[in-house]
Amino acid sequence: MKEKEEQKEYSYKHPHPAVTTDCVIFCFDGKELNVLLVQRGVEPFKGAWAFPGGFLHMDETANQCALRELKEETNLSPEHLEQFHTFTDVDRDPRERVITIAYFALVKKREVIGGDDATVAKWFKMNEIPRLAFDHDFIFRKALTALKEKIHFEPIGFELLDEEFSMPDLQRLYEAILDVKFDRRNFQKKMIQMDILEESPSNEKNVNKTGRSKNKKWRFIPQKYEDMKRQKAFRLEF
């Protein structure tokens, strides 16, 4: 045993597990959900795909760690990371005892992604996701569940869309996330009466002879959402 090469500088009276964060990042390509994966460059699971993440530093919170690793490995900086579960199975990492604090986030369309060093990062459509490293398959299933639950209570879906979007865009997004089909007219009615959207000014220019708009765009107004939330609970159900 060459102890010199593997210097163990940090000692504790009791054993400590290693702690990592992992991020499940979703985007929407207009048709379906996509998920961001990075390809592992080192053992274990070298070559396999996994969620971006890494070890917690002693001077950062888990949230900061997740943001840092995400920036390093994929150049993404989501506005809002949501911690959804901590995974602690004893054997989930073959190297040593590692627990991981998992986050999910939604990012607009397909912002730039690029590895820092040799990291390869890539978007995967939901039905093209390969077998993942470690217990990341399990983490992914939990993330999907957490996302579905969350979107019932918070209008986080808008983080996936451009500032201006059409009602069918929004509907496709919700249908992709919740894996259901809605009636167009009822979906629109519900969205409008929630009073968190605003018509785009450009709609006025696109009125045809019969008085109907074409290619109608909407905007999500966070302030309106805050106002609405104070009165009644947000509840997105169909």
Site residues for its own copies per CB under 8 A:
6-19, 55-56, 58-63, 83, 85-86, 88-90, 97, 99, 101, 149, 153, 235, 237
**Stretches 91-99, 125-133, 146-154, 177-185: which one binds DNA (CB under 7 A)?**
177-185
Pick from 71, 97, 216, 229 the residue near DNA by CB under 7 A: 216
Tell me which amino acid residue 235 is: R
Alpha carbon 60 to its chain's center: 21
Q: How far apart are CA 103 and CA 123, in angstroms?
A: 17
216 binds, among DNA, its own copies, none (CB under 5 to 8 A by kind): DNA
Give 238's contacts (C-beta < 8 A, 6+ positions apart). Answer: 180, 182, 186, 187, 190
CA distances (Å), origin 51, targets 101, 164, 165, 196: 12, 30, 29, 33
- The two three-digit tokens of residue 183, written as one number: 């009636």
Select 68 or 108, whichever has its Cβ closest to its own copies: 68
Asked if omega into 201 is within 30° of 0 (cis), the reply is no
- The two three-digit tokens of residue 82, written as one number: 């949501």
Q: Should residue 2 be labelled a site residue for DNA when binding is judged by CB under 7 A?
A: no
Q: How far apart are CA 65 and CA 58, in angstroms?
A: 10
47 binds, among its own copies, DNA, none (CB under 5 to 8 A by kind): none
Query: 131 and 48 in contact (C-beta within 8 Å)?
Result: yes
**Stretches 76-84, 103-111, 119-127, 209-217: which one binds DNA (CB under 7 A)?**
209-217
Alpha carbons within 13 A on the beta-carbon side of 210 = 3
Nearest distance in Å: CB 111, DNA: 23
**Stretches 20-28, 36-44, 136-144, 165-173: which one binds DNA (CB under 7 A)?**
165-173
Q: Should residue 108 be labelled a site residue for DNA when binding is judged by CB under 7 A?
A: no
Q: Should residue 185 be labelled a site residue for DNA when binding is judged by CB under 7 A?
A: yes
Select 136 or 172, whichever has its Cβ closest to DNA: 172
Residues that bind DNA (CB under 7 A): 166-168, 183-186, 188-190, 193, 208-210, 212-216, 237-238
